[in-house]
Amino acid sequence: MKSRSKVVLTAVGVLTAGLVASAPIASSAANTKSFAYGFSANGQGQQPYVESTDGQTHETGGAVPPNPLLSGQLVHLSAGDDAAAVNIANIEIGGALAQLPPEAAEGIAQLQQACTGLDQLPPEAELPPIFENIPGGVLETPTADDLAAFCNQLLDSDILNAAELRALNVACDGDTGTVEVAGASVLGAEAPALNGQVGPNTKLLPDESPLQITLNRQTPHDDGSFTVDGLVLTAGPGGEAEVILASTTCGEPIAVRDTDTDTDDPAPAPAPQPVQGDIPVTG
Amino acid sequence: MPASTLESRARRVASLLATLTVLVLGAALALSVVKGMGGEASADTGAAPNLAKLTSATTHTTLRHPPLDRGTGATDGEVVHPRRVVAVYATPGRDAFAKVGPRQFGPTWLPVVDRRGGWSRVLLPSRPNGSAGWVRTALVERRTTPYLIKVHRASRTLELVKDGATAGTWQVAVGAPSTPTPLGRTFLLGSVVDDRQSFSPVILPLGTHSDTLDSYGGGPGTVALHGWPDAAVFGQAVSHGCVRVPTDALTQLTQVPLGTLVIVDEQ
């Protein structure tokens, strides 16, 4: 388990050094600034990036910077008055397996072979070691049907990547946020369970796992701003190695100060303008 | 570069990708199991709520176990208008139980009944009567109203207070004993012209509902202030919960800002 953690920590460190750290850093945001970016590693190299400090909506496009972990076509970023959004298409996680060194291809082949052997296992038999090596004892809980269905798809598919997402849409609006996944597949097999709206702070692995994948990580900040990260990969005991894909941060509304003080005196409310409507009341 | 270094790097990359593969496989299976069991994925209690899952607080909805307003007195007159759909919390920043948007009949204005460091407690227009919750002050537009409307059930009168002084008092019709006008604090929710009825040129729905009628006339039993063509009802307890007021009262009430507090008491 420790060796896996070290491998990813190393990879993230190399990645961080390789990225250009010219983009603004999230922690320095003023509370009225809203911004969005596509990708960062350990808080560095937030690229592509867009922000709004004047309440106007600013937009840009671009691509996820080259890195060994994942690729994606960034189709849209926007930031405005207390709102921001990122849409990324065709995300490929884990690189092209077809171009991997023999060791990686062999690992996948072992998974396929293990899947092939599942049908021949008696119900009470132990799972092959390759499944038991999955962190956190995840395979202690899935049903046999879950595993069989996944393996069937795995064996019938042409494997190109560890995982693919056709679209990842992330948005914040004030102190709320949404993350939507479409077209998810894992090892070439469709993974419909991952599609659709994802709940806040959805952790995909048990807490004791040395690595974590979190979807829709939501973080309120002391300055009133609010961050929604689409996909977060963290490693290390304190989560010190971190890769973020698709992040949005909403500051406070530009046009309105937080004027909640006893000395403040709001302006008089106007007389209402009647509206046409149909409201059955109790007469 | 030495061959051994190349081999070492290749093994490292292979190991990383194999790790990711296993992780993502495990993730997909874990989520499948979570969804299959009908459970919820883990979520921090301090996170912002998912607005899509919250009930919208309108006159047509009923909230599940909301905090209730226990106050009986006047406020300082502050009213607020949500600039967008905002979450409503049981306590500041905790336990979101509803959402409220910028428009109901017209613009949504809610009375502020309490404040606490960046948060405002507002009355809501949903059932059950007295529903109240906290919204972030930074997300609402703030105004003040000089008015307060008092409805006294026993004396069957409506008192309009402006800047702390009585601006007018009228005999009105209140709810009959079997369909009483509900007691407590509520507010002026809208100002509506409904051409499909002829009893009042304008109807002023309140944020409260009949306690005895679950629905009325196809609506949710919303209580309102409105006119009435037959002056004989004023001073009587004859309505289904609404407060029927004379033309002069209605004229003045149409100038009262939305969100203005309405207190119905037993006096």
Nearest chain A residue (CA) to B179: A282
ipTM of the complex: 0.76
Contact (Cβ atoms closer than 8 angstroms) between residue A266 and residue A260: no
What percent of chain A clears pLDDT 70, i.e. is strictly above it?
A: 52
Nearest residue in A to B48, CA atom: A176
Asked if the model's pLDDT at residue A255 lies above 50, the reply is no
Q: Rounded to whole angstroms, how far apart are CA atoms A23 and A238?
A: 25
Q: What is the pLDDT of residues B3-44, one digit of tens each?
A: 444 444 444 444 444 555 555 555 444 444 333 333 333 333
Distance (Å) of CA A223 to CA A24, A84, A133, A219, A255: 17, 17, 43, 12, 17
Residue A181: in which H helix or E strand, if any? strand A176-186
* Rounded alpha-carbon distances, angstroms, from residue A231 to A47, A165, B261: 15, 11, 46
Q: How confident is the model at residue B58 (pLDDT cuts 50, 70, 90)?
A: very high
What are the start-end ranges of the H helices in chain B? Answer: 3-36, 247-253
Q: Which of A104, A133, A279 sits opposite B105 (nearest CB)?
A: A279
> How many angstroms separate the CA of residue B157 from the nearest CA in chain A?
17
Strand order through the sheet with B140-144: B94-100, B86-91, B132-136, B119-123, B110-116, B78-82, B140-144
CA B79/CA B102 separation, integer angstroms: 13
Which residue in B has a C-alpha nearest to residue A201's C-alpha? B43
User: pLDDT at position A139, please?
Assistant: 35
Q: What is the pLDDT of residues A55-114, one digit of tens each?
A: 788 888 888 887 766 777 766 899 988 889 999 888 887 644 444 445 545 655 666 666
- Residue B78: its chain A contacts at CB < 8 A? 266
Q: What is the pLDDT of residues B179-195, one digit of tens each?
A: 999 999 999 999 999 98
pLDDT at A117: 65
Angle between helices B3-36 and A102-118 (to 10 degrees): 30
Catalogue all structural domains in chain B, each as residue range(s) with its CATH number.
51-144 (2.30.30.40), 147-265 (2.40.440.10)
Is A167:A245 a contact under the CB 8 Å cutoff?
Answer: no
**What are the respective helix, strand and coil percentages of chain A, to the nearest 5?**
25, 40, 40
Q: How far is residue A258's CA from residue A40's CA, in Å, rounded to a whole number?
A: 31
Q: Which pLDDT score, from 0 to 100, does residue A229 have?
A: 95
pLDDT of residue B128: 96
Cα of B243 to nearest chain A Cα, Å: 8
In this structure, of A139-153, A202-216, B102-116, the range with the lowest mean pLDDT score is: A139-153
Across the interface, do A272 and B30 touch by the CB < 8 Å criterion? Answer: no
Q: What are phi and psi of B182, to 5 degrees?
A: -65, 140
DSSP 3-state assignment of A88?
strand
**What are B85-97's pLDDT values in tens digits?**
888 999 887 788 9
pLDDT in tens, B210-219: 988 877 877 8
Q: Does residue A131 have a pLDDT over 70?
A: no
pLDDT tens by residue, A142-190: 455 656 655 655 555 444 566 778 889 999 988 888 999 888 876 666 7
With a CB cutoff of 8 Å and minimum separation 6, the contacts of B52 are A178, A197
Q: What is the pTM of this model?
A: 0.51
